[in-house]
Structure 1
Amino acid sequence: MTQTATPNPVTWFEIHSADPDRTKAFYGSVFGWTFDDSMPGYSMIDLGDGAPIGGGIAHNDNQYPNDAVFLVQVPDVAAALAAVTEHGGSVVAEQQQTPIGLTFGYAANPDGSVFGVWCPPAE
């Protein structure tokens, strides 16, 4: 069997938390993760060199569920969200863009499981 690159791979995960300090203490104690809190409202998870994917803790201020989601890297977030609805899923959060140009959105599959899609900033 020939190994090929996965189209649209899972490259990021997020843990949504109303109590990010407790969440960081938990994962830090269990897995030894460390965190970078330099971005307001978001803690980058430092998984060490060579980690296959990255992650962060989104401070949700109780505005959406405390959960963990995976994010799929796509070339076009709007097109991915359109494909979700075309195939029986739903859009949970429309496309948004960060100040550095990263775009993302959240969707649910037909069973209601939430996941994200994202695209890095254009170079």
Structure 2
Amino acid sequence: MSTTRQDRQIDNIEFNVADIARSKAFYGAAFGWSFVDYGPTYSEFDDGRLKGGFTTGEPVRPGGPLVILYADDLVATQQRLQAAGATISRATFAFPGGQRFHFVDLDGYELAVWSAAPTH
């Protein structure tokens, strides 16, 4: 039995959203994601490494697993998120190896963004 490069890796994340166009505008502005629409109730997003989707086919269910994004510049990313309408739910904090903050998107999903600790 052979395996693929994607075996045991996150392959897709799906968000149930209230408004696909609003979600595309939010994540496009904050992270520069690209999108491909597959009908009126589904749009695929691509961050350049990972794909997922926005759907209106199910009710919005805030919560679930914490999705953590990486950013080289944590401050600039937080500023872009706030400009796009995000609420910072947990201020930046340090942990071994880096720092991160949490934010809530326009549909109530909480996500986090982290950055590696600078090397000396």
TM-score (norm 2): 0.44
TM-score (norm 1): 0.43
